[in-house]
């Protein structure tokens, strides 16, 4: 019998058709020239300068955080250099009422959403005050479990919808996170209930040391949204304007009741996966690093602003000095924060403490008072 479904089972054709839907969206080329006028976002000169300032400030924060980690003054730290456009331009498109559910590399978004830098440092140290969001900062603390934030985002977004609020929940994971079960469960639930969510996959090419090509055969990560009916897009994650515009339009869709969106940002982390012993030289070549450094989001955006007469070396140095000063003050404040006690952890864990722990609590309280 001749096969009747040959066309439907032509995997190569299906893959080609799917891949053609996800050509990477770009606004600025590597030299800071506009290559797509129709997608240039409607940002004022002051807003453009503010976004660049945040990116420069965050690059300095990354450099200082790596140094502080090596000095033993910070605990867990995941470097962010190279991903500033992906992280900060997406956050820049949000409003204060929007809710951020970050992964562990996404502390910069929390800071610019309102988390004090001191608290960010305390989070790195494992201090309970580092997981406390100030009043008015709609966010959860960074998720350590890979992909779990996607399920949480679906729930938060549904809550926003049920309350009738014009806001969104946005979350981030890496390319490796897109292979987790929680990733699929989260996007499927959000799609089924048209929850106002924005799901960002920051494709930095490596899930720790596993290259993207080894952990999925999908031509793009954006296409993973097709199966659950989510409009999806792949953007140049080293291009701040492209990331901003994609996020802004995804937010508009969400608050207009059109449901969630999936954004894959093509980016790169210059440093190790985390400072906990990862050595990227064992799985990445210097040639690869050099190629991505040519696409540096700060260099590209800097050239764009310089061509518009909005940026200068003096302005950048001013931002750098401000960053250094604020980081120095924040780490000093973190150093002066009282160390957490066992009774602190027990206090914040239970509203009604079990009897056996209540007995232990009194023992620790007595020890701590001496």
**Quick one: average pLDDT of 60-65?**
98
**Which has more pLDDT, 92 or 2?**
92
**Quick one: average pLDDT of 321-338?**
97
Determine, yes or no, domain membership for 10.
no
Tokens for 225? 């949204």
91 and 199 share a domain?
A: yes
198 and 93 share a domain?
A: yes
pLDDT in tens, 207-235: 999 999 998 989 899 999 999 999 999 99
pLDDT in tens, 150-209: 999 999 999 999 999 999 999 999 999 999 999 999 999 999 999 999 999 999 999 999
Determine, yes or no, domain membership for 7.
no
148 and 233 share a domain?
A: yes
344 and 301 share a domain?
A: no
User: Model pTM?
Assistant: 0.93
Out of 269, 284, 300, 302, pick the active-site residue: 269
Provide the pLDDT for residue 1. 44
Determine, yes or no, domain membership for 30.
yes
Is the pLDDT at 298 greater than 80? The verdict is yes
Annotation says 253 is catalytic: no
Determine, yes or no, domain membership for 145.
yes
Out of 184, 193, 283, 364, pick the active-site residue: 283
161 and 206 share a domain?
A: yes
pLDDT in tens, 84-106: 999 999 999 999 999 999 999 99
Provide the pLDDT for residue 82. 97
Tokens for 362? 């009194």
Determine, yes or no, domain membership for 9.
no
Determine, yes or no, domain membership for 4.
no
222 and 357 share a domain?
A: no
Provide the pLDDT for residue 23. 87
Q: How far apart are CA 361 and CA 370, in angstroms?
A: 15
Q: Of 331, 171, 301, 184, whose CA–CA distance to 247 is shortest?
A: 171
Out of 54, 273, 284, 302, pick the active-site residue: 273
Annotation says 273 is catalytic: yes
Provide the pLDDT for residue 8. 55
Instruction: Report DSSP letters for 106-169, one per residue.
Output: -HHHHHHHT--HHHHHHHHTT-GGGGPPPTT--BPPPB-STTHHHHHHHHHHHHHHHTT-S--E
Domain count, the chain: 2
199 and 323 share a domain?
A: yes
124 and 193 share a domain?
A: yes
pLDDT in tens, 230-268: 999 999 999 999 999 999 999 999 999 999 999 999 999
Chain-wide mean pLDDT for the chain?
Answer: 94
Annotation says 150 is catalytic: no
358 and 253 share a domain?
A: no
Domain housing 121: 16-338
For the chain, helix, strand, coil in percent to 5 are: 50, 10, 40
């Amino acid at each position: 019998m001749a096969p009747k479904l040959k066309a439907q089972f032509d995997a190569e054709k299906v893959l080609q058709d799917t891949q053609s839907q996800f050509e990477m969206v770009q606004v600025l080329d590597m030299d800071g020239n506009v290559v797509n006028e129709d997608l240039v976002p409607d940002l004022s000169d002051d807003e453009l300068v503010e976004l660049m300032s945040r990116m420069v400030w965050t690059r300095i924060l990354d450099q200082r955080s790596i140094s502080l980690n090596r000095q033993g003054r910070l605990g867990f730290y995941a470097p962010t250099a190279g991903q500033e456009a992906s992280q900060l331009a997406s956050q820049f498109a949000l409003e204060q009422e929007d809710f951020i559910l970050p992964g562990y590399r996404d502390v910069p978004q929390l800071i610019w959403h309102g988390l004090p830098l001191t608290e960010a440092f305390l989070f790195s140290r494992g201090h309970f005050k580092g997981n406390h969001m100030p009043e008015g900062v709609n966010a959860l603390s960074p998720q350590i479990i890979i992909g779990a934030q996607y399920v949480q985002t679906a729930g938060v977004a549904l809550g926003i919808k049920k309350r009738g609020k014009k806001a969104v929940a946005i979350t981030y994971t890496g390319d490796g996170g897109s292979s987790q079960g929680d990733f699929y469960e989260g996007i499927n639930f959000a799609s089924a209930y048209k929850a106002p969510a924005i799901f960002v996959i920051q494709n930095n090419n490596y899930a720790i040391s596993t290259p993207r090509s080894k952990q999925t055969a999908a031509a793009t990560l954006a296409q993973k949204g097709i199966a659950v009916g989510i409009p999806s897009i792949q953007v140049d994650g080293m291009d701040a304007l492209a990331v901003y515009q994609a996020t802004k339009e995804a937010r508009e869709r969400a608050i207009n009741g059109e449901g969630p969106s999936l954004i894959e940002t093509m980016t790169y982390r210059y440093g190790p996966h985390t400072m906990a012993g990862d050595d990227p030289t064992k799985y990445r070549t210097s040639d690869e690093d050099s190629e991505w450094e040519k696409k540096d989001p700060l260099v590209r955006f800097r050239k764009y602003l310089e061509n518009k007469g909005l940026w200068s070396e003096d302005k950048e140095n001013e931002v750098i000095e401000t960053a250094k000063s604020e980081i120095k003050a924040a780490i000093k404040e973190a150093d002066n924060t009282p160390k957490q006690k066992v009774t602190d952890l027990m206090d914040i864990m239970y509203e009604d403490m079990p009897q056996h722990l209540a007995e232990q609590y009194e023992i620790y309280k007595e020890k701590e008072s001496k």
